Structure 1
């Protein structure tokens, strides 16, 4: 075996999964919107300008087919609109509708509450440090995935 301390790495992976399951809430029972739909809706809402499905696929780390399915579901609920790109008739950008903004206002606290609790419990500085480390870790892993695809 390459790594004699693999059991310690497995324990860390378990902690990471546990953290993820506590920090990222699933949709409440009876909700009519999934966690992935919420993620896409939040990302489209806080983008400075309308986003493309390709941009969302990269940002969310999923395939474009997943984005297409989510877009169709959110459009059917009238939470987002597709705006055609004038220079390319096959392309479109996404815009959150007024109904979508109401839905975000209705549910954001439930989904973000674990992070508010974490921030309060850790304090501002340690909370920011945690997310700086997470950002750095995500960059390292993204670079490795890019290498593997080449």
Structure 2
């Protein structure tokens, strides 16, 4: 196996684990006291694309019943709505409401500000450009198209 690729994968996992932990533990904002990390992750996913419950379960690595429970809670708070799928008459699509979009925008601003503050002195502009280039490439490689349930 490629040792450099192993190291890259290990570092990627560590950044995801420790970065998530640090953000969750360090940001003292009402949003992060009101909603669970799993609910916020779900809202983030839906903010990128309207998604079916099955795909959402796969993306979060949980059973469909967990997604169903989260969707019910978020729907009762007016953050998401369930609509019929345009491509499948039996299917459902979860969408953000305007209130959900506002919450995600506010959450993103809080997180971006926090991350900017902790990284601004540690990264050069050229490193940020390289980071962006690599993560665009990784996103395109890793993004799975919907086609399973």
Q: Normalised by the shorter chain, which TM-score bucket?
A: 0.5 to 0.7
TM-score by length of 1: 0.60
Distance 1:113 1:19 in 2: 14
Q: Aligned with 1:62: secondary structure? A: coil
Distance 2:117 2:29 in 1: 22
Residue aligning to 1:109: 109
Residue aligning to 2:24: 25
Larger radius of gyration between Structure 1 and Structure 2: 1
1:64 Cα deviation from its structure 2 partner: 2.3
Query: Unaligned regions of 5+ residues in structure 2, if any?
Result: 1-10, 143-149
Residue aligning to 1:61: 61
Q: Aligned with 1:108: secondary structure? A: helix
CA contact (8 A) 1:42 1:104 kept: yes
CA RMSD of aligned residues (A): 3.8
Flag as ranges the 4+ runs of structure 1 deviating above 6 A: none
CA contact (8 A) 1:84 1:93 kept: yes
CA 1:44 to 1:126, structure 2 compared with 1: closer, same or farther past 3 Å?
same
Residue aligning to 2:6: none
User: 1:22-47 CA distances to partner (integer Å, 9 max, x unpaired)?
Assistant: 2x325747532222111111211122
User: 1:94-120 CA distances to partner (integer Å, 9 max, x unpaired)?
Assistant: 111111112223332223334333552
User: 1:77-98 CA distances to partner (integer Å, 9 max, x unpaired)?
Assistant: 1101000236656531011111
User: 1:4-33 CA distances to partner (integer Å, 9 max, x unpaired)?
Assistant: xxxxxxxx8xx76544422x3257475322
CA 1:104 to 1:64, structure 2 compared with 1: closer, same or farther past 3 Å?
same
Query: Unaligned regions of 5+ residues in structure 1, if any?
Result: 1-11, 141-150
CA 1:118 to 1:130, structure 2 compared with 1: closer, same or farther past 3 Å?
farther
Distance 1:128 1:20 in 2: 22
Q: Aligned with 2:120: secondary structure? A: helix
User: Bigger shift: 74-83 or 27-36?
Assistant: 27-36
CA 1:105 to 1:66, structure 2 compared with 1: closer, same or farther past 3 Å?
same
Within 5 Å, give how 1:65-104 maps onto structure 2.
65-85=65-85, 88=88, 90-104=90-104
